[in-house]
Amino acid sequence: MKNSSLKTKIKNKEVTIGSWITLGHTSIAEIMAKAGFDWLVIDMEHSAITLHEAQELIKVIELSGIVPLVRVGNNDSTLIKRVMDAGAHGVIVPMVNCSEDAIKAVNAVKYPPTGQRGVGLARAQGYGLEFERYKNWVNKESIVIVQIESVDAINNLEEILSVDIDGFIIGPYDLSASMGKPGEFDHPDVVNALTKVKEVSQEMGAVSGFHVIPPDSGVVIKMIQEGYKFIAFSLDTLFLGLKCGEEMDKIKSLRHFESRQK
């Protein structure tokens, strides 16, 4: 049913690279799925993507042989249950600031006795025809990644990482914003916070992740060298918009040069 090796890779602390989808069109998911990512995240926090659109995107990603994850809008058990029922292989949960938040996320994904998720018979369960297989799969193979993106989360990192989650991912914009320094990634306070995260995660043997916003492979390589394992590489709109802009700038520059030669 779901033969994803992502869970094994995470457990083995292998580097995996994914990306973010914010446009609710299946063609976007299909194009990005063919690019070679290990996983793709459907963003339902900062996008206009609906649950129905998310399910269609999950289908396309899964049928392309890539792992579909969903970043839910908040740490809400009903939201998490619904995207899991739609077929997501796991969730990324924003604003996890303490161990109670992390436990809540795990409980929303897993069935009893591991968690507290209610049972539905939707797409994930083969519309009722494959419940037993899904039940065995979900508690062993589903993925829970929490986002560390606030000062509170940094201060409570040890207790968060003590919960049975698969890993965490740093949201750099929100983390810097929580310090009153939105987007100032070189500010000493932000640098010190990231250093603390790295030190604590290494001490606890946690799988650390980072969302590299610019579509720059050099930054991804730098994050890998720094020890991050679960790396989100940019997002659909930036890949599209920046590439369009870069190539048009080259054309405009050439046209300007040619006009001067006349």
- What amino acid positions are annotated as catalytic residues? 46
How far is residue 91 from each of residues 81, 105, 145, 190, 222, measured CA to CA in Å?
10, 9, 6, 26, 26
Distance between first and last Cα of the chain: 65
Q: Please state the separation of Cα 123 from the chain's center in Å.
A: 22
Kindly tell me the burial class for residue 97, based on how many C-beta atoms sit within 10 Å of its own C-beta (0-12, 13-18, 19 or more): buried
How far is residue 102 from each of residues 9, 92, 94, 105, 223, measured CA to CA in Å?
21, 11, 10, 5, 24
* Inter-axis angle of helices 99-109 and 77-85, nearest 10: 30
How far is residue 33 from each of residues 144, 209, 224, measured CA to CA in Å?
21, 20, 21
